[in-house]
């Protein structure tokens, strides 16, 4: 079973603060079934002998994203393996990109962890579990072959934070020297911003759910540094509770929100009732804002009782899987995206190492849609969206 520790602490405090405001994950931008063994997984030889089958054709997005089109994406979470060669990284990248295409996606958000030494630490760093810029470049090269839009999204790992305080998360960090922390953060980000530029990533996220640092005066300097090497879209990924409270303090006017709103509804609630709850929540914002909004990280535990806390993986590790809860949530989100004319949606999540042709080993990941009915909802959702 993938616990919070096992998946690398990639999500914010979904369960830590009981009174958190219902919110949604949105990115300001101008912005399913798969066969049991997809054709692109057929074995083939790299030799040129005439009696060997040709390598499979690299599939491409049917309608590549452009400004004004909805971003239809999946979130891929990448914890690097030090044993993965360049060839293995390329194979995994192609496998995941082809899976995204099989769902009808035109976009991928690539989320990967970086680390710190504690809640008050002034240092952040890339570990062996952080994909290298060179390996990110391989992913971007594969994505470019298929004309699929990519967002790069570094996220602070929470393992050491929770060891220090069980209710801690990345939004609680309190560096003793904020300028020192930002200097360290700049050193970490710049190589990834450079590869985002050379690899033509459409968007680069300069911060994810760093609530205590959002008012810091160091952001403009960091943004200038990133801008010196990356000319694409810069984003800030806001936690869902913050979206409803104070957008004015965010480092950028272009921002994303990780969407895990909490609704007091029974498991028996219909998809229509869930849609109404989403519509009501989104209606607290103007149509002008909503038209630019992308739900950049949205998902739910596939277990009973999840509507009141859709990301509560810590407290549901022993609860039985209930795919109907997840399926109806996905249906409701898709309908809300259409009802409110949002600019897109990214579903959480597929692990970079997962094999879509053999999803069974990943079923213990309670948030994934891989191999569950929810992936059919994604495919139908993407097919039904016209903008």
Residue 194 has pLDDT above 60, yes or no: yes
User: Do residues 151 and 112 lie in contact, with contact meaning Cβ atoms separated by under 8 Å?
Assistant: no
The pLDDT of 178-194, averaged and rounded, is 98
Q: What is the pLDDT of residue 177?
A: 98
DSSP 55: P
The pLDDT of 302-318, averaged and rounded, is 81
Q: What is the pLDDT of residue 240?
A: 85
DSSP 153: E
* Structure tokens, 62: 């049917």
Q: Which helix (H) or strand (E) holds 379?
A: helix 374-384
Q: How many CA atoms within 13 Å lie on the side-chain side of 191?
A: 13
The pLDDT of 290-300, averaged and rounded, is 91
Other C-beta atoms lying within 10 Å of the C-beta of residue 117? 13
Residue 264 has pLDDT above 60, yes or no: yes
Q: What is the pLDDT of residue 362?
A: 83
* Structure tokens, 10: 């990639």
Distance between CA atoms of 314 and 332, rounded to whole angstroms? 24
Residue 8 has pLDDT above 60, yes or no: no
Distance between CA atoms of 241 and 335, rounded to whole angstroms? 22
* Structure tokens, 293: 């909004």
Q: What is the pLDDT of residue 57?
A: 66
Spell out the residues 6+ positions from residue 58 whose beta carbon is closer than 8 angstroms to its own.
Answer: 94, 145, 146
Residue 19 has pLDDT above 70, yes or no: no
Q: What is the pLDDT of residue 314?
A: 62
Residue 227 has pLDDT above 60, yes or no: yes
Buried b or exposed e, range 231-269, using 16+ CB within 10 angstroms: ebbbbbbbbbbbbbeeeeebbbebbbbbbbbbbebeeeb
Reported confidence tier of residue 284, pLDDT bands at 50, 70, 90: confident
Residue 17 has pLDDT above 60, yes or no: no
* pLDDT tens-digit readout, 68-105: 999 999 999 999 999 999 999 999 999 999 999 999 99
* pLDDT tens-digit readout, 330-380: 999 999 999 999 999 999 999 999 999 999 888 888 899 999 999 999 999
The pLDDT of 162-175, averaged and rounded, is 93
Residue 191 has pLDDT above 80, yes or no: yes
| CA proximity to 310, closest of 27, 14, 11 | 14
Reported confidence tier of residue 290, pLDDT bands at 50, 70, 90: confident
* Structure tokens, 79: 């914890």
Spell out the residues 6+ positions from residue 116 whose beta carbon is closer than 8 angstroms to its own.
Answer: 123, 124, 125, 156, 157, 160, 161, 173
Reported confidence tier of residue 158, pLDDT bands at 50, 70, 90: very high
The answer to whether the bond into 190 is cis (omega within 30° of 0) is: no
* Structure tokens, 279: 């519509």
Instruction: For each of the domains in the chain, give its residue range(s) and CATH number, in order of start.
Output: 64-384 (3.20.20.80)
User: Do residues 43 and 361 lie in contact, with contact meaning Cβ atoms separated by under 8 Å?
Assistant: no
Spell out the residues 6+ positions from residue 317 whose beta carbon is closer than 8 angstroms to its own.
Answer: 1, 3, 366
Residue 40 has pLDDT above 70, yes or no: no
* pLDDT tens-digit readout, 122-157: 999 999 999 999 999 999 999 999 999 999 999 999
Q: Which helix (H) or strand (E) holds 328?
A: helix 323-339
Mean pLDDT of the chain: 85
Q: What is the pLDDT of residue 165?
A: 93
Strands 124-125 and 149-156: unpaired
Angstrom CA distances, 251 to 65, 205, 260, stand at 26, 11, 22
The pLDDT of 271-288, averaged and rounded, is 92
Report helix, strand or coil for 318: coil
Residue 247 has pLDDT above 90, yes or no: no
pTM of the model: 0.85
Reported confidence tier of residue 246, pLDDT bands at 50, 70, 90: low
Q: What is the pLDDT of residue 130?
A: 98
Reported confidence tier of residue 54, pLDDT bands at 50, 70, 90: low
Q: What is the pLDDT of residue 204?
A: 97
User: Do residues 157 and 102 lie in contact, with contact meaning Cβ atoms separated by under 8 Å?
Assistant: no
Place of tokens 């409110």: 340
User: Do residues 114 and 155 lie in contact, with contact meaning Cβ atoms separated by under 8 Å?
Assistant: yes
User: Do residues 93 and 134 lie in contact, with contact meaning Cβ atoms separated by under 8 Å?
Assistant: no
Provide the terminal-to-terminal Cα distance of the chain, rounded to the nearest Å.
Answer: 38
Of all residues in the chain, the percent with pLDDT exceeding 90 is 68
* Structure tokens, 296: 């950049």
**Between 111 and 283, where is the model more confident?**
111
């Amino acid at each position: 079973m993938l616990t919070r520790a096992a998946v690398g602490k990639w999500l914010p405090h979904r369960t830590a603060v009981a009174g958190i405001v219902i919110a949604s994950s949105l990115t300001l931008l101008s912005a399913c079934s798969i066969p049991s063994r997809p054709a692109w997984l057929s074995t083939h030889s790299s030799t040129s002998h005439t009696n060997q089958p040709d390598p499979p054709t690299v599939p491409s997005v049917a309608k590549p994203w452009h400004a004004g089109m909805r971003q239809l994406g999946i979130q891929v979470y990448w914890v690097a393996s030090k044993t993965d060669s360049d060839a293995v990284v390329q194979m995994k990248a192609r496998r995941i990109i082809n899976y995204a295409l099989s769902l009808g996606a035109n976009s991928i958000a690539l989320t990967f962890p970086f680390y710190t030494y504690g809640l008050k630490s002034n240092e952040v760093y890339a570990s062996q579990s952080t994909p290298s810029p060179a390996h990110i470049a391989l992913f971007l090269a594969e994505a470019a072959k298929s004309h699929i839009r990519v967002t790069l999204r570094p996220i602070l790992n929470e393992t050491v934070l929770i060891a220090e305080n069980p209710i801690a998360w990345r939004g609680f960090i309190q560096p003793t020297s904020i300028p020192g922390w930002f200097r360290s953060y700049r050193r970490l980000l710049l190589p990834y911003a450079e590869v985002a530029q050379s690899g033509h990533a459409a968007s680069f996220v300069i911060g994810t759910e760093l609530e205590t640092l959002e008012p810091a005066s160091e952001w403009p300097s960091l943004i200038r540094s990133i801008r010196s090497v990356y000319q694409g879209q810069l984003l800030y990924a806001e936690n869902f509770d913050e979206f409803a409270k104070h957008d004015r303090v965010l480092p950028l006017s272009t921002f994303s929100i990780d969407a895990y709103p909490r609704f007091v509804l029974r498991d028996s609630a219909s998809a229509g009732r869930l849609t109404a709850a989403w519509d009501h929540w989104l209606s607290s914002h103007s149509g002008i804002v909503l038209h630019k909004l992308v739900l950049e990280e949205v998902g739910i535990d596939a277990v009973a009782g999840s509507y009141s806390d859709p990301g509560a993986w810590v407290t549901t590790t022993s609860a039985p899987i209930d795919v109907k809860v997840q399926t109806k949530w996905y249906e409701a989100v898709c309908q809300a995206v259409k009802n409110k004319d949002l600019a897109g949606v990214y579903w959480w999540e597929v692990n970079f190492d997962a094999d879509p042709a053999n999803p069974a080993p990943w079923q213990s990941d309670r948030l994934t849609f891989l191999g569950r009915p929810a992936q059919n909802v994604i495919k139908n959702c993407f097919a039904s969206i016209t903008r």
